[in-house]
Chain A
């Protein structure tokens, strides 16, 4: 039995679970049954995907299966190569942990029948997208994945915000699928070769390649959340239940990245150098804009969704570099950049799932998503706060956790780029490097804010004061992810070697073998150029911190006394005097927001003796929504308004309209030939 048939059986089993969930949805046992089954099937799929990736270097032929479904002359092709195996691993690991988390979290769900059938269906859809080996199956699976996730976004549809989120999401998802459909149509050509193998084999004209790239950026980019197509993401991801939010942000965006890599690196053939520029600019814009919007946010889940946009931007920056290098035949540098991108795909699926699980745990414990109503949770939710802290450090790209490694690899790739001959790239890349560092620094600020406001300080409401730790299942899922964040950070060589088959198949080169290097360092090119050892950094820090603490407690003083906070002699008793999410972001808003969000502050300070309260108001604008989406919405509304009166005609007029249309079409036909 090949790995592809095992994975397809897992998909079938997930779909079976989805169908089964409909009749048993009313019973109390349905939640553990559905999530338990999803967990098992995803675990099997994960193991086989991992095994396939591990053995991908020795297997010559990627296993393929053709089912008699889909297009009659083509059938449905399914195939696993190294790239697909890697993404299947990401998808199913996310699925396993999300199902584990949901075993506990799902018990608090007040409408389980709106979630249970769609959860395994969503997982099956994502698996199918990655497995598909022809355009028809790919698009059907893509749409299935979109619709299943849409149903999950609409699970709590009584909330007007969620309904709006679902509406925006379905519109954008349809738009994205349309763009992908056109892209595949272009690639298939007039002969209609919808199989990926045929597309890979045929030579495409530069015009087709360019147009297909743009359409892909629209189609896959809208699903991944690239600016300016991200508008749905911060609405839809937080609207779903938290374990689904984690899947959507941590995994589904990765499936979109997979679609982009599959077509651009695999099917399109040799890229042109300007495609690198386009992807670099869009990626950089997404990274900076995404994290700036996250910084302005006080809703925890929406903040995480905006930060997803940033991370997708970082991934696309690395992909853009890989494209630019590949176009210039710099294979080693391209392999380095692609490894950085894929490493970040893995990392983001770890820490974003972890953070969404943490936000879900906070939601369960307090019923609040608004950070300005939380505070002091570190005392009441000790385990959640530790794992959430790990997620915050990892996503801020700080050593020794995993986020830093992929960021570091991206910087090493940037340092390879002066050898690129094109001037446009030479001038762009340093700016991109600066922007990447800026987004990393902003991410650190953003997650200091998140952890500091929600988990530290004093509780701002009674809900935060009465919070209790969440159930074991949720804690286990989060702890596993936190451990993975640390392991990928201190043993990055193993991950890099695991990615070697992917870069070999897509670029034709790989990074040097890392696991042979003494002390488990990672060395992208040669040691005299750059190296990093997360394990030793971690151990040294741990050792010197413990040594210092031991020596001080042993020889100096270990006395400790609790007293009221000093606060420079003027302690404020009310917890409302603490810094909130928006006050924390105020300095950054003044520096960047004046330009990016046209933020304006108005202070109304009454004169001394005047008894009216002082007022402070901030006005910010989402320039993309106002400049791009509102005009389109306006135009659609205007056209609908104009066409509306066609609905209220008499039967005679309708008949004459039909007649005129017929005459018009016949005339067209006559003139055409």
Chain B
């Protein structure tokens, strides 16, 4: 019985993240439009886009290989698996021990690896420019992310997300300098990883500074739908990650009953809404950086991560 309910919750969580991801993207777009005093498209526009793309033919470049066709599904699946392990509204997911935080980040690294390869598959210069810049961003974002993980793991004594979330809700955690620094660094990394302003522009096409959009330029139809969905899912994943580690309030614990789960779901939706609104506000207020300013931005994240880890190494209370 316990196993069945745990499995149900895990399945529900998997469905929830996929169902919510386009909504979050639509919500952010709407807020951005309103901030610019435009009416903007409806919140559910991303769903319509994905459905329309799914029904369209795929137009495949003549020399595209099997790798190019497999990659969209692979990226989506990997992101989905990673997102399914992160506690959204309840901790103690049945498969949470499958991968810890390091493995989740590495899974996203696998997705990026294949997307960068797909960018080079057709042999166009735009694909190459996207892949090579994505590789550069990754070389700085991944070590920063790992140092942030080190900080959290040393505070909570675990790299297991459920344990970290449980520890963060407990009164032992307190206010720590290292946590504040890690949060800033994590937000910077999340912005870079999700190709948001100021690192990349998600709304652009045919711009020499684009990165993510340049890699996926040759995709169309259902393949493009998968890529778009995976990108939305990744944004949701990072927001969930920040929420479950830094604002883990009202996360339901195993066996607390349906009311706690319901409260957990509403709290999760509220967190996403606040996170999305903040992101929209930030994106509206900042300008896109030149590509070669990105290393400075991410270098700052790396240094902050290192500082936070060092604080944890030299002192137990900071």
Contact = CB atoms under 8 A, between A and B. Distances in A.
A60 interface: no
A415 B99 contact: no
Contact of B163 (A396, A433, A528, A592): A528
Contacts of B314: 423, 426-427
A552 B222 CA distance: 8
Contact of A456 (B121, B135, B312): B121
A398 B132 contact: no
Contacts of B140: 441, 591
Interface in A517-552: 521, 527-533, 536-537, 540-542, 544-546, 548-549, 552
Contacts of B163: 528-529
A529 B157 contact: yes
B95 to A, nearest CB: 7
**Interface of chain B, main secondary structure:** helix
Nearest to B76: A548
Contact of A445 (B55, B135, B154): B135
Interface in A634-664: none
Contact of B81 (A431, A544, A575, A577): A544
A5 interface: no
Contact of B97 (A378, A451, A521, A578): A521
Nearest to A544: B77
A394 to B, nearest CB: 11
B129 to A, nearest CB: 7
B74 A545 contact: yes
B60 A399 contact: no
Interface of B: 54-63, 65-67, 73-74, 76-78, 80-81, 84, 95, 97-100, 102-103, 106-107, 109-110, 112-113, 116-117, 119-129, 131-133, 135-136, 138-143, 145-147, 150, 153-154, 157-160, 163, 205-206, 217-218, 221-222, 226, 291-292, 295, 302, 305-306, 309-310, 312-314
In the A-B complex, the 7 residue pairs with the closest CB atoms: A579-B128, A457-B123, A452-B120, A545-B77, A587-B136, A445-B135, A437-B146
A-side interface size class:
35 or more
Contact of B133 (A414, A431, A587): A587
Nearest to A518: B97
Contacts of B221: 557, 559
B135 A537 contact: no
Contact of A552 (B54, B63, B112): B54
A434 B301 CA distance: 12
Contact of B120 (A456, A521, A545): A456
A378 B67 contact: yes
11 contacts: A398-B113, A415-B154, A426-B313, A430-B313, A448-B120, A452-B116, A562-B62, A567-B122, A583-B128, A587-B132, A588-B132
Given A441-B139, A549-B73, A564-B62, A415 B103 contact: no
A578 B124 contact: yes
A166 B310 CA distance: 45
B206 to A, nearest CB: 5
Contacts of A441: 109, 138-143
A47 B74 CA distance: 37
A545 B76 contact: yes
A565 B122 contact: yes
B91 to A, nearest CB: 12
Nearest to A447: B113
Contacts of B73: 545-546, 548-549
A367 B62 CA distance: 26
A548 B77 CA distance: 8
B289 to A, nearest CB: 14
Given A561-B59, A591-B295, A531 B160 contact: yes
B58 A559 contact: yes
B124 A556 contact: no
Contacts of A590: 292
A397 interface: yes
Interface of A: 375-376, 378-379, 389, 393, 396-399, 404, 408, 411-412, 414-415, 417-418, 423, 426-427, 429-431, 433-435, 437-438, 440-442, 444-445, 448-449, 451-453, 456-458, 521, 527-533, 536-537, 540-542, 544-546, 548-549, 552, 556-557, 559-569, 571-572, 575, 577-579, 583-588, 590-592
B305 A434 contact: yes
Contact of B160 (A389, A442, A530, A566): A530
Contacts of B106: 397-399, 404, 408
A393 B117 CA distance: 11
B128 A584 contact: yes
Given A452-B117, A531-B98, 14 more contacts: A375-B123, A399-B107, A437-B142, A437-B146, A457-B120, A521-B98, A528-B160, A533-B98, A536-B95, A544-B77, A556-B222, A567-B126, A578-B123, A590-B292
B82 to A, nearest CB: 9
A525 B133 CA distance: 38
A430 B123 CA distance: 40
Given A430-B309, A448-B117, A448-B131, A566 B218 contact: yes
A259 B74 CA distance: 42
B103 A537 contact: yes
A376 B218 CA distance: 17
A448 B81 contact: no
A448 B135 contact: yes
Contacts of B77: 540-542, 544-545, 548
B158 to A, nearest CB: 5
Contact of A530 (B110, B139, B159, B310): B159
B222 A376 contact: no
A532 B113 contact: no
Contacts of B76: 544-545, 548
Contacts of A560: 57-58, 60
Contacts of B142: 437-438, 440-441, 444
A398 B109 contact: yes
A585 B132 contact: yes
A533 B104 CA distance: 11
Contact of B310 (A397, A412, A430, A527): A430
A529 B122 contact: no
Scoring B58, B139, B157 by chain A CB atoms within 10 A of each residue's CB, the highest score goes to: B139
Contact of B147 (A379, A434, A592): A434
A408 B139 contact: no
A565 B61 contact: yes
Nearest to A446: B135
Nearest to A460: B123
